[in-house]
Amino acid sequence: MSNAKDERRPAGELEAAVMAALWAADVPLTPGRVQTEIASGLARTTVSTILSRLYDKGIVGRRPQGRGYAYYPEQDAAGLTARRMHSALDRDRNSDRETVLARFVAQLKRDDEQLLRHLLEGDER
């Protein structure tokens, strides 16, 4: 028999739900408000932990509100994706960066490759 606590969601999925709530909000949100917005059945303490970890990573900012904090995104979704790509590239300092980047480019769809070429050439769209 499976227990709900045994069916853990991946941390990335929880972080994504929290970030989606923050991006959708016009104002910083408290953990309780984030909990309400994502309506996932997560405990407020779990949401607080996720927000604290995102803060420690520099992904969200916070400001004092009441006895706790209200959180806001430091980057939009595109900026966060770019940050994750940089982190993945920097994670293994022993890897051959040239080979990693060459394989990344080789696996791009044709339209993405053309867009990347334009961006690298300074042809802003």
* Residues linked to residue 63 through DSSP beta bridges, in sequence order: 70
- Work out the angle at residue 93's Cα, subtended by the Cα atoms of residues 13 and 110, and round it to the nearest 5 degrees: 65
Sign of the Cα pseudo-torsion (123, 91, 19, 108, in order): positive
The pLDDT profile of the chain, 125 residues, written as one tens digit per residue, is: 444 443 566 667 889 999 999 999 989 999 999 999 998 788 899 999 999 999 999 999 999 999 999 999 998 989 888 888 888 888 877 778 888 888 888 999 999 999 998 998 985 54
Residue located via tokens 């990347």: 116
- Answer yes or no: are the C-beta atoms of 30 and 70 closer than 8 Å: yes
Is this structure's pTM higher than 0.85? no
